[in-house]
Structure 1
Amino acid sequence: MCPDAIFPLSKAVRSAYSRNEEDETLSPLVLVDRHKSPAGRIQSGDSVIFYNIRGEREIELTRSLTENTFREFPIDTNLVVNFATMIEYQKGLNVKVAFQPPGILSDTLSDVIAAHGLTQAKITEAEKAVHVGYFFNGKKSDLLPGEERIVIPTRKDVKLFDEAPEMSIADITQTAIARIKDPHCNFIVVNFPNVDVVGHIENEPAVLRAIQAVDRHTGLIIDEALRQEITVIVTADHGTVEKWLYPDGGVDSGHTDSPVPFFLLHPDKTLTLKAQGSLTDVAPTVLDLFGLPVPSAMTGVSLVEQSKNSYTPIKRLLLLILDGWGLCENTKGNLITCAETPVMDKLMKSCPSAQLAASGVDVGLPPKTVGNSEAGHLHIGAGRIIYSDRLRIDESIASGDFYQNPAFKNAMKLAEHNGSAVHLMGIVSFFSSHGSIEHLFALMDMARQQRVSRLFIHSMLGRRGEQAESGARYIQQVEEKCRSLQL
């Protein structure tokens, strides 16, 4: 049998590349039988396991298959499936969760601020709403007393954000300035998503525009904050475009393992900062500046070198998060240094600054892995290391506990009892923060152990952090795995 017949889907992906399609925007490809009918369409009574590990787009996709009242796009309202997810994407979903949240995270930065009667506003656009709200607050959706979350709508008039790299930054700035001018707003968190979001698209001129837009609007917000005598912290959650190239010269549009900047603009010009730190140090620093107690659960430490008893507590603070803005001394392939950034250049020269670790074990991820927005915001707000779902799942696979997980076993046994199929759905990638192909392979091994007779895989591709055209290679690995397991 020829390789194309054995691996038809990886062949189809490679054919799409020849039509100038790429992994991030690939048109859907469906395997069909000899009658040209879809081979693995989800039917009522089937079991679906969604193995991604991020609660973002995953929420909408899950709802579309589990809620007959879903209206965001057309669905089969009569479809009834047994649905399991790798982690909890959102409370209230009609699913079984394999790896439950480890528990409610208390004494976060936002918790302490609310407990002391201070008000707080968090502002970004829809692309980063879950990070600035849910993850920053310790994976809690409910508003705290005195908390306001303002989500600026994301533009719908462009197909991809490289068509409008400025995104909705002007509206974010306008809204932030309004809160800065409000003397009753004590703590303001602003996230500019442009560098991260546009940085995932292989379009260098657009990325440069995004960087320059963030730099310009950072200046506008800082200027107004200083006029209102507000202390300002500028930092980021992870790196992206400061390492734009792989060693072979190919474009790396993913996240990085770089440190991120931390700048302090404080009325007391004698304050100095430790040169090195971690994202877990942001929350204790903010609390010290406010003169508030740092909970014992926070293992991070203040970056301010002076004792908090040596300076006057502040009443208001602006925390500005430049999403995806990393630091790298190497200028080759460093789009941050290629762009015109007069505001950030001035901060680097004139303000107390530090470099913060934002990847790997410093943010609860496996060693040597890149940072991401979820881990970044979670650790900025938590002030302590929170071990990631990916790390927990990897350890479960290594110990063998994964293969006895009740949510997975129930889904597979229900399918066999109903004479129906099991569907594994998720990203096929090793580097993506949304999931791992290793988790898919573990589920395939488990399906073989459980003697699942009908198994279908619905693979999602992404370009972020991957070499160009890596999707076909991953799809072929899945096809080879199916062949080796005789699935």
Structure 2
Amino acid sequence: MILERLISFQGRPGPVLLVIADGVGLAEPGAANALSLAHTPNIDRLLASPMSTKLNAHGEWVGLPSNSDMGNSEVGHNTLGGGRIFDQGAKLVDSAIDSGSLFESDVWKTVRERGLAGGTVHFIGLVSDGNVHSNIRHLLRILDQSHDAGIRSVCVHALLDGRDVDPRSAPQYLRILQSKLDQINQTADAGYRIASGGGRMRITMDRYQADWNMVHRGFNAHVHGCVDETGHLVTDAIDEVERQYATDPGITDQYLAPFVVTGNGQPVGKMQDGDAVVLFNFRGDRAMEISSALDDAKFEHFERGNFPDIYFCGMLQYDGDLKIPRNYLVQPPVIERTMGEYLCAKKVPSFAVSETQKFGHVTYFWNGNRSGYIDETLETYIEIPSDNLPFDQAPDMKSREITDATIELLISGKYRFGRINFANGDMVGHTGNIEATVQSLESVDACLGRLLEAVDALKGVLVFTADHGNAEEMFTEREGKRMPKTSHSLNPVPFVIADSSNDYAYGLQSGVEGGLANVAATLFNLLGFRAPHDYEASLIHFPKEPLRRTLYSGRVASLGLESFKPSEDDAEWVTMEIIRHPGSAVIAAVDRQNRVCLIRQYRPAASDWIWELPAGGIEFPETPDETARRELQEETGYSADQWEMLGSFYTSPGYSDEYMHAYKASHLHAGEQSLEAHEILEPHWLEIEKIEDMIRRGEIIDAKTITTMFLMASGKD
């Protein structure tokens, strides 16, 4: 796929710089809003500009299951760099289970090995189909796989919902679970059982560090098989839920007291050395604290007692910044055709700068969860080492160093696009220290002022945004008591374009509710390019730019309605149907006998068998040369040592932009074809004179073949 230039706007002379203020959302001013408390004249000026708007950075806007899911830096940068919305959370887990990739991961293999070595595999999570924190369907599928793998001992620690599902539905889900466990136990010499449980608001699933006692109760029930004075030792989980219902007719599942299942007076699921533990919740906010308790060697929030040697993993990594947990079953999605790939394909030089805490976000996550450079000759990545001390003790973090490095790159004149991340708002915000967070934002603002001045001097454009909120919501209040809130938020984030040269060449789209996925298309526009057709729409519009609306987008090409003026003197716009195509390559392969390979291929559009040269479409991010080599091998089985570019041409410029590149290939080596399932073709080696005669007689009617043979005969290059 090739980027096309805008007609009415070619970009500014200077670079486009994207500044991501990590964790800086927008909320009403107040005592909990560190942004409103801070002295930030540069941010204030940007937010008051007519080129300022708000973007959604949470929930479905970044691929998470519901709009009650907070955004995070990982999915935020995936969305910013990919220009589209990609499945995350529950959707990602569904795909990993259905494809089998979850069970092929090294993490699952370690879990399985512990189970096969005689250890018990423990599953902790919310047992319901609410699909907000978990889905019982995931658990049932993993239990089946555990059985198929030969794991004989499994314990389920069942957290009860009643919040995302009916308030008294726990027995229904426990019966589904127990039925699966009974089925496995009856078909094998296995011990699959429910070991502990309780309501999600009583044990284990605390968030925002509001009640570590809640986590402690769950930890003791799951790990040590013991309960405090609020809990119960029981022999059957379903009977215990029914008993609590009868004792307190008003109780709902989320507030059910903790319980531990026993047999012969002993807990049936106490964790031992050599066991493995899987937390099967996919949402992070209520999974992080129990993950820390089970996985962090330096955990200090409560005494863990005689803690066994377990292997712990989560369904996902719940916090990429803090690496919680260290091991997880489902990898983030691999995203194709990112903004970085398009820019490299167009030979646009770019840079990325951040400190260690967010360096992976402006590189790995921005690039679609890929490590390393896309093209080292076009990209520069700079990592500023983060301080090795609590962030609220040095709230400026590395904002000044990031700014210094960025300005040096800008004034070098080598780069058209840059992206940087200031980690302050998020990392200091996570500490809950309001004063330090205020100072951190003031540091970011001062650095932003320097960057605005540098970009303006270069006649460039600065774009200011964030990946999610945090610093604008530092605490909540309940019954007059302040509760520190160290997590991300559901608030929108700022989006501002600072372009002092903008003389109404473009403006913000009106009446559009946007999200982070709209940023990439906007950046492409500011660089003077049309965005790829399947990217989320740009946040800006160009009054003088011709209309382009995609009607259909397929595997090979897209069809759209496009308007244009036949000449500058015409007042009326003309609208036409245009086919957009990524381009293609055609190959005249010549052997030692001076014969050329023709393909006889059935073409449904022509309803006939057609003589033609090997050819095919460019697959992003291929170059035409790479396409030619691939198509020759796939269609004929041959490779070539010598290649000559014959020329390029439009195939049907009246209604299509397909641009075909013609090659001569020689010094051939035979191999095997690798045809696609739908391809029906036969390779034939014919003398050049015979092919020319077939063209004259009308036996060869394929335009690209006729054109390429002419180019080869005329010796044009």
Structure-2-length-normalised TM-score: 0.32
Larger proportion of strand: 2
**TM-score scaled by length of structure 1:** 0.46
Larger radius of gyration: 2
Higher helix share: 1
